[in-house]
Structure 1
């Protein structure tokens, strides 16, 4: 009777009695309602039925039959292995050629990334269909799928279950992965040897990412219901693997927590049921991680267009599918008449108490907490010497490490334009003085001439003020020590492309003799004067962690090149105002960890998110740590519960504020 009821609900049998029309209509409405709820709860992957591709695949197969030949399979495997070997052997070069995270996922690359995703998925699905044809199967459904807001194709090859060989079925499931990895291997070589920054180079990089990383994370992973899942299902010869694993988990939980005695189900695996239960838990957790990551990416994408509300709506829909739908199914489970009476009260109350205790511990038990901040080593209490007036470096009077006194000359700059302007203004002053003298002599005889005196006097005063300002600027071309101490070099500046410079560029530090004659712009740090044994770590703290960090908190510092050394310290000072200019070496374009955006007018790099600076004093009597050294600091903050950490992560990621 239960079996017949299942067939009737599935539409496989129809009773020949009165009232069936009402039942069929009710079944149709229920199916539509479930489809609509499924689309709302799974906005990241929506399918639309399309056409029957059988005739198209029959026409295509003769032209692509050679792909399935043994020699082609061997050649493809050799190509994949060669690409992998290239990346592994030249990994340092490979990593240096890659763009940073924010540059790759920028708005400028988003369109190209979506285009590549759509095209590669079309090739992926045709790989499934043609492989199905190769082994004698049929494919009668191909449609459009909106995958992470990108239109793609999907190919239904469920008829492959009619094939007797499980290895042929697994090969059909793996065909899409095979095609994408082959594309990634080809594009690896094309990207490696093409000109960086060009459209073709960026296109190959996007194909590499979509066809390798995303394939491993999504398609090849058996925890998601994509190719890897169906391959595992084919190899183990267990159809509906996930449903059966979920059923086993629910039966185990019902028996353990509620004391329910599950009826025998001959269709469920009888061996290794613990493995299936663990698989169901792992699949659910991995799905949460993937959905949360995709929602974070989409939210950041919409945030750049000031459309955060769209991202928040998509997050809400995804959370509906992850939390509300399972709770609804749990309610339906208990709504079954007689189900409550089957529950053993001691088991139920014990489970309820354990759950309540776990929730209390999760939300209210404080645990040790720390945050990681990027840092740069700077001189403590040192006096910076900046270039106040742009000019060419004509002379360097000191060397790094040299002791100087207050007011001692450090360097001399020259500015030809400034010298010419001073000469012009001096000539103008003499001209106005001569004119004023002449007018004063004529004013005794002509009253109209006397009326011009105030105007000329005002012009003379203006020109003299300008001359004094320019002379003061010329004096500032002489850089002097602001205090007594040791000359400390600034952070190294990497070489710049000379082809785009009208003025002589420079690299390293301005104190190097090779930079004589180079043009130093206003605001360039020439050097610092201070004590080299007194250093400080300048931390960049994100706004999300600002309220957690306080003065006196303990820190552990790791510096680049000193991996075996840990420096203990404590927070001495936290800036009240936000950071306006990111330290050059900490910015992502220069190998740092602070995402920045460049002002097109000034060229200044500012943090993408609101950040603050904190300072940790460091004593270095042996002089081991050079200025400008990068590193990370672990700051031990106040204790926080796991629930508070989860809420901070969600609220700061998606800007949900109460």
Structure 2
């Protein structure tokens, strides 16, 4: 039997003489979790559920209006001395059953004080609905009768035949999507365009309605009931919902998981049908509606419903898979237990986890889900505020209240009044205040390494473009791609038959004019001057043609590496005048041209940096040193290379109206860094990479505050 400290309670007198029993409407079901037997209490009238151990149920089953709580507990203790719950556990159990509205009771005033924190259940539900502003629910009607009438027809699809049909249809749709992938991908660029938003929302409502009916029919098929259907404001977007929580009482884990997956199963089935419609229709409303249905079903399934860190379908499936009911609630309880035990020194209570494996799952889920939920909601806030600033500010205020104000108030109230801390309250307060002070001081005063990265392109310090000054046909290549050449060395030779004819004609014309000048000096002095002018013009024209002829031999203007990708394909091709044939690059000096965003450029202008380094794409493990750098003090829009933009596979956002991928969506500053001559990488003009600027160490809190303010200024011009 448990020791006296856990068996008896100082508060037992408040509840011992009361006559309490379960409500007559409560149903009792047995379930197995991780090899252990559990009892599930269900009240279908208020849709309440409660899970308890068989030993605890032995006590609850003995509660009757004609006997007191103490009599029931004493009988249970006599029959099961090693398993019967202690008085403190009984008080907690009855309080929880009271909160779940599963008890029929006639409580005295003193006992009512014991449960006073549970009397405001409705107010808490309303306040939590307000605080959960992104997913507010409004029940409207009871769909159970409709489900019962239509189940004989729909239920035939819930079985082996339906599973086989689903596999065939979805498999064929995947094949169609793969065959039409280029078109499918290109059309996705217009999903969020203003003209498509009505069709997108219509598809969302249709798909979500089918999704919820999937949950409802599967639940009804396995014996559950669905008594609530309504509208949920998902980020202020009305979508339907159904309450299929009666599936929690199913004895079969497979049935519970199927109910959880039913919405996604139905979504993917109708997405597959929409794929066939999209592939076989031309431009129009039906075609667009089918495409939007595909997008909604796939994105909602993969990003939201399957994700167990959000409390959607994936969460309940994971809970059943791990056989840990109330996974989120118990994870929070586990974190609270660890804090109480490890920080406050509370030893009187047991962990919500029964095994080490369960402890690991609950702790991991509690931490990761909390962090992920904050990240997701923060992203949603930014997206909403981009479109509707006032609504975004309201949502931010509500989130601030629910994530900061309310938890802080609950912590203060818990530290001040919780009976669990009666013996360690001073330590709990001291540890809590100390942790806050240490955390704030740590974030505010302890400097951390500080750096940022910027994408860029490698450029030779001296480079010149090789451009033909005369049009012609490429006859022969005199230098190979990648060859080191000297200034004046021929690179290729062109030919131009028209130029040859012009030279011959001009030469003959010049000789003719010279003969006429010679004759005029003897016979016609008056015509001598005009003829001399014509001769001079002919000589100048011939000189120009001769220069053009000489330019047909393309020569290097400087020493360097001859870079001309694809030059072999130029042989026999006509190239117009002014065409860039290649580059001459000096391999002895390179500089890295980087694009730095506005929020990072302040530190560069202040030059408060110990150093910088470059890592090139393809050889990122090797560091290239930087011995000097310069900021071009003017905002720019045109990227040094299209390889830095999204169209070229880079990280910089490109203006939507720029088909060439050179104009950035936002202004940036250009930084030119000179690289060390001795490196372990191949320095080639045009290679992309990233430069890392090491800044002076800075505490995290000022850095985060500055980043947040820069974000607000950038997005909302505050």
Counterpart among 44, 48, 69 of residue 138 in structure 2 = 48
Q: For residues 79 and 652 of structure 1, do their structure 2 counterparts lie closer, same or farther at Cα, with a shift above 3 Å needed?
A: farther
1:548–1:638 CA contact under 8 A, matched in 2: no
Question: How far apart are residue 86 of structure 1 and its match?
Answer: 10
1:367 aligns with 2:448: yes
What is the alpha-carbon distance in structure 2 between the residues aligned to residue 638 and residue 201 of structure 1?
56
Aligned equivalent of 1:135 = 222
Aligned equivalent of 1:297 = 383
What is the alpha-carbon distance in structure 1 between the residues aligned to residue 205 and residue 284 of structure 2?
21
Larger RCO (alpha carbons 8 Å, 6+ apart): 1
1:259–1:344 CA contact under 8 A, matched in 2: no
SS in 2 for 1:610: strand
Q: For residues 485 and 284 of structure 1, do their structure 2 counterparts lie closer, same or farther at Cα, with a shift above 3 Å needed?
A: same
Question: How far apart are residue 588 of structure 1 and its match?
Answer: 1.2
Q: For residues 140 and 269 of structure 1, do their structure 2 counterparts lie closer, same or farther at Cα, with a shift above 3 Å needed?
A: same
Question: How far apart are residue 597 of structure 1 and its match?
Answer: 0.8
Q: For residues 632 and 105 of structure 1, do their structure 2 counterparts lie closer, same or farther at Cα, with a shift above 3 Å needed?
A: farther
Equivalent residue runs for 1:186-265 within 5 Å: 210-212=296-298, 214-235=300-321, 238-262=324-348
Q: Alpha-carbon deviations, 1:106-139, whole Å to 9, x = none?
A: 6676665545443332222111011112223221
Q: TM-score, normalised by structure 1?
A: 0.68
1:533–1:620 CA contact under 8 A, matched in 2: no
Question: How far apart are residue 589 of structure 1 and its match?
Answer: 2.5
Equivalent residue runs for 1:266-415 within 5 Å: 268-272=352-356, 274-275=359-360, 276-299=362-385, 301-302=386-387, 307-336=388-417, 342-346=423-427, 348-350=429-431, 352-383=433-464
1:179 aligns with 2:266: yes
* Coordinate RMSD, CA, aligned: 5.2
Aligned equivalent of 2:246 = 159
Aligned equivalent of 2:699 = 641
Q: Alpha-carbon deviations, 1:356-380, whole Å to 9, x = none?
A: 3343223332222332322222232
Q: Alpha-carbon deviations, 1:293-339, whole Å to 9, x = none?
A: 3223334x42xxxx545434433433332222222221232342777
Counterpart among 104, 128, 147 of residue 57 in structure 1 = 147
Q: Alpha-carbon deviations, 1:68-124, whole Å to 9, x = none?
A: 23143145346667888999xx99x97998469987766676665545443332222
Aligned equivalent of 2:77 = none
Q: Alpha-carbon deviations, 1:425-453, whole Å to 9, x = none?
A: xxxxxxxxxxxxxxxxxxxxxxxxxxxxx
Question: How far apart are residue 569 of structure 1 and its match?
Answer: 2.9
Aligned equivalent of 1:555 = 613
Aligned equivalent of 1:585 = 643
1:119–1:152 CA contact under 8 A, matched in 2: no
What is the alpha-carbon distance in structure 2 between the residues aligned to residue 411 and residue 36 of structure 1?
84
Question: How far apart are residue 623 of structure 1 and its match?
Answer: 10
Q: Alpha-carbon deviations, 1:50-76, whole Å to 9, x = none?
A: 222223333543443343231431453
Q: TM-score, normalised by structure 2?
A: 0.63
What is the alpha-carbon distance in structure 1 between the residues aligned to residue 611 and residue 403 of structure 2?
38
Equivalent residue runs for 1:380-529 within 5 Å: 380-383=461-464, 484=558, 512=570, 516=574
Question: How far apart are residue 516 of structure 1 and its match?
Answer: 3.9
What is the alpha-carbon distance in structure 2 between the residues aligned to residue 629 and residue 199 of structure 1?
46
Which stretch shows the higher mean deviation, 344-353 or 154-163?
344-353
Q: Which has the larger Rg?
A: 2
Question: How far apart are residue 143 of structure 1 and its match?
Answer: 1.2
1:533–1:621 CA contact under 8 A, matched in 2: no
Counterpart among 693, 704, 709 of residue 651 in structure 1 = 709
Q: Alpha-carbon deviations, 1:187-212, whole Å to 9, x = none?
A: 78988x78999998987776565444
Counterpart among 601, 605, 630 of residue 573 in structure 1 = 630
What is the alpha-carbon distance in structure 2 between the residues aligned to residue 286 and residue 137 of structure 1?
32
What is the alpha-carbon distance in structure 1 between the residues aligned to residue 445 and residue 283 of structure 2?
51
Aligned equivalent of 2:235 = 148
